[in-house]
Structure 1
């Protein structure tokens, strides 16, 4: 049967044979574009080579046609292509660089200058026209539009093949494929499966970083934008809608391909087409508006007869535009539903970014359609995208929408829905760039009153953020809040009365007189104080910054905040007004800020509260620093500066120096007694230029007095931060020639004054050591709680004035000891003074021991008072005072533990004391009066019970870290294999499943008795610990100096003994804390498992210490035996009856007395085995008796 077929243009298909197969006619050379047209300014040699190849191809085609008129089957063609791919490609000559076309427009050297050896087909021609020639995108689009009239199917075929070529896919689509619109997915599937699978992971032009593809995307987008606009201008978009529909079907189907190059390229093309349609729709709307305006004018015109034709024409034009707009809207909705809805959540983040950017452009271009909630919500959903560039792009698009005031009303519902997410992105996003853009977006929302007060505070607190870019961006937002607070504070006052009561800063020359800037400074201080208190990083970042400030001269949080807001708050440039505000006597203000009298209320508004002065001193320092930096930059920029301008800068610098020399002594006199305030003022002195002061009248005397004030601060303060800043002030003064001699004199005088103090410090250390030893013998509570007597002035000698009395010491000896132990905090360490630091550590250890014994005596007194029901001692006030002192002691021990390395000697001693204190007070919870005394009253009983508190989890983590390091230290020195927890979570309820062998041995079998008792390996003596962990240096730094210096066998064995002793001491304290119940139930299991993890691997001494954790279990098992003799019961009660507590000093092994470390270790093991054997024999003789006094032993006061 013969198939009658015709082409869409009405011509018969003469090439179709009876079999149904189509015979492809040979390409006529004259019908194709000359191959040389692909070259840009190509050479004659290239053209000759190309023509020669073309002739050969033409001859080959003719010979093929003569030999066989029929065309081979499609399967044979595919097989030949696959064979050709497998053959090695022939070597090609090196391509020459193509010259740039002289014509204007979008030009690109996309393809190489070498041209194919056979004539280019229509798709290659279009590709070359778009990318390889000097034509503009509009010209190429118009040329393609012209081909639609001749053959629309062929034009669409060429465009689809062009798209495939953009993905570097060599397969071509035929006209039959274009006609079979329903088989588009199947055809593209064949293309992808057969011709592109082997290139799926290759780089494609759209994302290639090669030089020839730099402008690929730009040219591609411009071409399709011009294509859609040409379809609109020519009317084909409306007269032949099937053209656009067919293109959209092919491109839309490609956008859903599983291979990324197809999907990405097609998505970019589809989005660019939709963007062009939005521009077309916008033009149509504008045309309709213009036409309606003209129509209204014509209808209102008095010449009605002559305007009927004009009115009818305008009405017809409006109807045409409405139909066109309706068709464009339908095309946009179809594209959105078929492409955007699926690709905005594509797995490729690049495609998601393209979609977000396109949607933002659509909303801006075509507000009537896309500025609706059904489209805006896609922007809100993408704000939670896991990819930071996608989040960044959506924030930029949304920020652009809020930049247009006309959009605000339509965006209110969107704002209410997604505002929390915007705030979260600004405050806590992982990407800094996203945070910066989000803050700028939120600043626009704040201008439109679209933020809640809590949102404003959340973003305002970012002024203390650790990231400089975030602080800089939030500066404008923060200053806007200050302005709002200022307006709220003054809006109720009459403007004229307000100006009379408080003039503006520009109206008066007196810097000390109140002005309107003072209220803004008050608002600034209040806000910074409030944000600092509520900042999420107040307990972490702030502590770190302030710690660095004591040694590294790092700026405080308020200074960094000032740096961010300085350029936005012009009042800070008038720093003299701020200095006058700080020097004002605010304590004399008694006015009510809510008073009806404006003059009275104004004073109450600018009155400073506590701690606000310190904040503003930091602000003052950085404001002066920023002001001087600005002047310095102006002085360096000499281009275009006249002599008058240079003199003006010099005058301003001299004015600053003069004002600083006036303000600093006054500020020191007013705030010098406060540590933080004195630190800020001394920083301010470092900005003073002594050479500029010397040029002024009386400058040398002024600067000499200023040095005296600095020296006074240096001599009267003990805070390290103040001392460091005073030292820097002296160093800055020495850098100027005019003040170098005076500074050296003051520094030498201060040094001579410190010599007696150094000797007194050494005596103080010895004194504290004596007190700690005496406290272990007698009750020292009365002495420690005694207040100091006021000092008396020395008697006057003849002809001389009496020396002034030394300063009085406030509080009791307990308060003084607490202040002394604070020196153990590493933030107070004196860097570069090892000997002095060692003396301070010795002092802190002695004081800690003294206070530990003090609390033991207090607990002993409480136990006696409870037994005797001494109501005078058991008052609530007395019990609360003991608890408060205990808490103060723990507070000063905590920084010593947290700021030092895990094996630091002072840290280990502090851990001993800490665990003893908590366990000590736990012994009170089961104490009851004697039977004859009755029961305690409810209030004292509850207060006593409240004295038993669990150890905080943070401190417990530090304790377990030290225990773990002690285990590793002992194991390394004795060559033992131990298990360690993989992460800290294992210490909080973890299991043995989360452990690993330190030496890589995963065998977790129980160790034999020989392994437990194995002494250190002799091979250790010849091996170095180079393979130890990073803490090996710290592990040995706490050994005795005499042992550490020696490198012999005996010294190593002695170090092993000391390491075992320290491990057992800390472990025993932890065991007692577990038995005393001062470790919370949630973490007790994890701590117990961590202690027992290596009980069989760290020697018998450690195993015996850990064995006490099993004592309760053994007692419960023994209690099941009911056959008890009276003698055995009596003997058992004697074992558990609490004995009178004796407070003794800890027994410390004196290494000097150990003559033979190995023999000592063996003797210790033999003695322990003998004691165990005797104990076992006694148990066998006495039988397994129950323990009627179970639990009483846990409540004893456990001494050392």
Structure 2
């Protein structure tokens, strides 16, 4: 019956047969123990002076009989095993395979004399490659039973050498998180038994960045032991524990003095740094992990990979929880030489061991962020816990601890900025500490506006001294959070006004009496300074209303005044800067990159301007009578901005990365203007609706071409196939209608180049091939991620424009849905918002805003002709 075609019969018969074998194994183990016990007793009886020969003979006969019975039973078990198990452990039914994996584990434990050998262990090794995750998990559980038994480690060495690579592969690459977590726990047993290679330890330790919390939690013990091993090695380098205690001197409560915890923190930083840098550097817009081979688009508001790892290690590694000592270590100066000039002294050697690299400083600053956040959160929970009754003294103690932590942190951030403020990476990590001050626990501390004002001054200094986008983003968020704290009053607004005045003055000085639209007329130094300044304007515009500053004409600098030129409002200068991206590219790549960056920062800044200006304009429409000049100025600037972005689209290749950004800003601007259609006013006419006209048809064609290029780029990067036949006819039509140059060809074959490169790599050596394939795999993942982000972002803006009726709804919808099911789940979810108002179902009724009637399409007057729709798509 165990070979029956009917699966329920086969499963039931197999389960019964496995149970029979298990029972036989238990009997066989009892017989083996009785035989050995009788033999030992007989040997003991022989050694006595008055040996009872009859008793010895009886024991020997009993032992022989037990062995004979055991041999008979062994033959029976072998027959059952060969008849049942060998065929059913690879049964098509995964449930049967799981039962077989569990059964052989029970047999090895119950009857090791017969089953604990390589001949039977290999079946579990083979099951590690089973396609069903439950079967793999069961095999790992059974192996965990064996490796946890220290007496069995010696008998597992041969099996380990054969299947260790597969166990490591499961831990690092298995599709199921619970299987990976179980494999990590199994490998921890192998590490304790000394059965892992250094490379295997590194591969497992890297899982501290994994995306799955369960996997990260399972690797904590493994990672912590690796840190302890590194700590012991450093202590040995310093001469041992006694020598270290002599160097450190007497224990003190100061957080600024060297201590043993600092050495372990150094080991932690080295370990995280080595694991993080295994795949090489990443582009600025891509964040590694958490996870092996997993990459995320960098989001400044989210926790970094080091903070995620530190959160996981918080409970296991005590030093991570002691944030005061960690801060003291970061502030400690390890560059000071020994006072006696003896570079070989113990103190100098300790400083040398404690010296941090720049990447390690960044890591420990992120760990500090996590540690402070965890500590403050625990204080908040303790204070707000209603289940545990606290007396007045306990409540006061908790509040005092919160106040003490807040003041310590507020005094700590300026010191850290003073030391680490010069480097963009460390400055951004330090500024991120300001997020903790936003927690409710520090509400009373923020009432001391003088201390917080000093802290905001440091944030302003960082904002004005850096041009790194991440630093400016963190400083901007800190100022924005400060604006929401009512306890601070007008202090944050005053600091932001100061930034506006300084930045606008710098911008006016740089742009006065210069040709802002033509490339090649500004030096690299001026371009770089102008790009930095416009980037600051962009960040300020994202957190504060820029309208007053942008529309006010600045006074010309005394050294730059002339009779022929008058300073224009900053908003007009910003719009003029966008045209630099539409000018022909210069021969110098560095200058061209600066011009493009300047134009893009300017275009985003102007987009923020309209986001602030239109709501204020709507409010004015509803409350007062507006002069015509205000509407005229707004319309002129809107048209100038749209024309500048349109010129960039026209002159750039269709698959240029800037075109995707420009298309998104064009759509954003028109979507913002769509809100004017909802305005009802008795004080003004309807002239303001000129701002809310549908996007020009030529611009829509260009944006759809850019969208098609984004589709093809993602398809090529991810190995997907899209329908691109209509793109060629569309490009030809654009040439005829718009007098544009032919667009760059889009390679719709996602496999040709990669396959050729793979074949070329296959001809190289094994080591070089592995490194090259790993680097190529990482690069392909990065390219796919960025391409998907560009595609989904542009698609989302097209969806908003459709919902706002600022484009040709029928044409854009049809074009968006052409490859809806071919470009992944994220893209499909973006397009689902097209039908958000109908709860995910396609509306069958005609569009609310009918299209113009066409003379050649009388049967369906409210819809465009199919051929025309295809052309427009």
Q: What TM-score does the superposition give when structure 1 sets the normalisation length?
A: 0.48
1:367 to 95, 112, 126: 112
Q: Report the CA distance shift for 1:275/1:1066 in structure 2 as closer, same or farther (over 3 A).
A: closer
Matched residue, 1:830: 542
How far apart are 1:554 and its partner, in Å?
2.4
Give the secondary-structure state (helix, strand or coil) at the position aligned to 1:717.
helix
1:507 to 223, 234, 251: 251
C-alpha contact 1:383 1:421 (8 A) present in aligned 2: yes
Give the secondary-structure state (helix, strand or coil) at the position aligned to 2:516.
helix
Do structure 1's residue 270 and structure 2's residue 14 form an aligned pair?
A: no
Higher relative contact order (CA 8 A, sep 6+): 2
How far apart are 1:916 and its partner, in Å?
5.9
Cα deviations across residues 997-1027 of structure 1 (Å, max 9, x unaligned)?
A: xxxxxxxxxxxxxxxxxxxxxxxxxxxxxxx
1:456 to 195, 201, 206: 201
**Distance in 2 between residues matched to 1:311 and 1:259, nearest whole Å:** 56
**Distance in 2 between residues matched to 1:601 and 1:1062, nearest whole Å:** 67
How far apart are 1:420 and its partner, in Å?
2.0
Matched residue, 2:561: none
Do structure 1's residue 656 and structure 2's residue 368 form an aligned pair?
A: no
C-alpha contact 1:824 1:844 (8 A) present in aligned 2: no
**Distance in 1 between residues matched to 2:193 and 2:598, nearest whole Å:** 50
Cα deviations across residues 761-781 of structure 1 (Å, max 9, x unaligned)?
A: 99689x5997234x2xxxx63
C-alpha contact 2:247 2:346 (8 A) present in aligned 1: no
Matched residue, 1:521: 265
How far apart are 1:716 and its partner, in Å?
4.8
C-alpha contact 1:589 1:607 (8 A) present in aligned 2: no
Matched residue, 1:255: 2
Residue correspondences, number: 670
Matched residue, 2:372: 624
How far apart are 1:354 and its partner, in Å?
1.0
Give the secondary-structure state (helix, strand or coil) at the position aligned to 1:508.
coil
Do structure 1's residue 298 and structure 2's residue 45 form an aligned pair?
A: yes
**Distance in 1 between residues matched to 2:606 and 2:493, nearest whole Å:** 34
Matched residue, 2:178: 433
Superposition pairs of residues 483-498 of structure 1, within 5 angstroms: 483-495=228-240, 498=243
Matched residue, 2:826: none
| Runs of 5+ unmatched residues, structure 1 | 1-253, 695-699, 735-739, 786-811, 860-881, 920-950, 970-1032, 1072-1079, 1110-1156, 1159-1200
Superposition pairs of residues 162-173 of structure 1, within 5 angstroms: none
C-alpha contact 2:460 2:499 (8 A) present in aligned 1: no
Give the secondary-structure state (helix, strand or coil) at the position aligned to 2:211.
coil
Q: Report the CA distance shift for 1:441/1:1106 in structure 2 as closer, same or farther (over 3 A).
A: same
Matched residue, 1:850: 580
| Runs of 5+ unmatched residues, structure 2 | 465-471, 552-569, 612-637, 680-684, 710-715, 746-850, 853-873
How far apart are 1:569 and its partner, in Å?
0.6
C-alpha contact 2:101 2:139 (8 A) present in aligned 1: yes
Cα deviations across residues 730-775 of structure 1 (Å, max 9, x unaligned)?
A: 646x4xxxxx2xx11413433553564686599689x5997234x2
Do structure 1's residue 379 and structure 2's residue 117 form an aligned pair?
A: no
Q: Report the CA distance shift for 1:744/1:1087 in structure 2 as closer, same or farther (over 3 A).
A: same
1:720 to 454, 473, 489: 473
How far apart are 1:1068 and its partner, in Å?
12
**Distance in 2 between residues matched to 1:366 and 1:576, nearest whole Å:** 55
**Distance in 2 between residues matched to 1:897 and 1:371, nearest whole Å:** 71
1:784 to 516, 523, 527: 523
Q: Report the CA distance shift for 1:784/1:1067 in structure 2 as closer, same or farther (over 3 A).
A: farther
Q: Which has the larger radius of gyration?
A: 1
C-alpha contact 1:388 1:431 (8 A) present in aligned 2: yes
Give the secondary-structure state (helix, strand or coil) at the position aligned to 2:248.
coil
Moved more, 596-605 or 535-544: 535-544
How far apart are 1:783 and its partner, in Å?
3.4
Matched residue, 1:327: 72
Superposition pairs of residues 631-670 of structure 1, within 5 angstroms: 631-633=379-381, 636=385, 653=402, 655-657=404-406, 659-670=408-419
1:336 to 78, 81, 104: 81
Q: Report the CA distance shift for 1:653/1:1044 in structure 2 as closer, same or farther (over 3 A).
A: closer
Q: Report the CA distance shift for 1:691/1:781 in structure 2 as closer, same or farther (over 3 A).
A: closer
Matched residue, 1:710: 456
Q: Report the CA distance shift for 1:344/1:1042 in structure 2 as closer, same or farther (over 3 A).
A: same
C-alpha contact 1:501 1:599 (8 A) present in aligned 2: no
C-alpha contact 1:546 1:556 (8 A) present in aligned 2: no
Q: What TM-score does the superposition give when structure 2 sets the normalisation length?
A: 0.64
**Distance in 2 between residues matched to 1:897 and 1:259, nearest whole Å:** 69
C-alpha contact 1:1036 1:1044 (8 A) present in aligned 2: no
**Distance in 1 between residues matched to 2:116 and 2:304, nearest whole Å:** 46
Matched residue, 1:283: 30
Matched residue, 1:576: 324
How far apart are 1:386 and its partner, in Å?
1.8
1:443 to 188, 195, 203: 188
Q: Report the CA distance shift for 1:841/1:289 in structure 2 as closer, same or farther (over 3 A).
A: farther
Give the secondary-structure state (helix, strand or coil) at the position aligned to 1:781.
coil
Q: Report the CA distance shift for 1:745/1:782 in structure 2 as closer, same or farther (over 3 A).
A: closer
2:430 to 639, 654, 678: 678
Matched residue, 2:211: 466
Q: Report the CA distance shift for 1:845/1:405 in structure 2 as closer, same or farther (over 3 A).
A: farther
C-alpha contact 2:483 2:493 (8 A) present in aligned 1: no
How far apart are 1:614 and its partner, in Å?
2.9
Cα deviations across residues 648-670 of structure 1 (Å, max 9, x unaligned)?
A: 76665565345435434433443
**Distance in 1 between residues matched to 2:314 and 2:131, nearest whole Å:** 35
C-alpha contact 1:1095 1:1102 (8 A) present in aligned 2: no
**Distance in 2 between residues matched to 1:1034 and 1:706, nearest whole Å:** 36
Q: Report the CA distance shift for 1:744/1:652 in structure 2 as closer, same or farther (over 3 A).
A: closer
**Distance in 2 between residues matched to 1:1069 and 1:648, nearest whole Å:** 60
Matched residue, 2:61: 316
How far apart are 1:322 and its partner, in Å?
0.9
Do structure 1's residue 1101 and structure 2's residue 768 form an aligned pair?
A: no
How far apart are 1:256 and its partner, in Å?
0.9
Do structure 1's residue 358 and structure 2's residue 103 form an aligned pair?
A: yes
Superposition pairs of residues 614-1013 of structure 1, within 5 angstroms: 614-633=362-381, 636=385, 653=402, 655-657=404-406, 659-672=408-421, 674=424, 675-686=427-438, 689-690=441-442, 704-714=450-460, 716-717=462-463, 719-729=472-482, 731=484, 734=486, 740=487, 743-753=488-498, 756=501, 767=511, 771-773=515-517, 775=518, 781=520, 783-785=522-524, 812-819=525-532, 830=542, 846-850=576-580, 853=583, 856=585, 858-859=586-587, 882-886=588-592
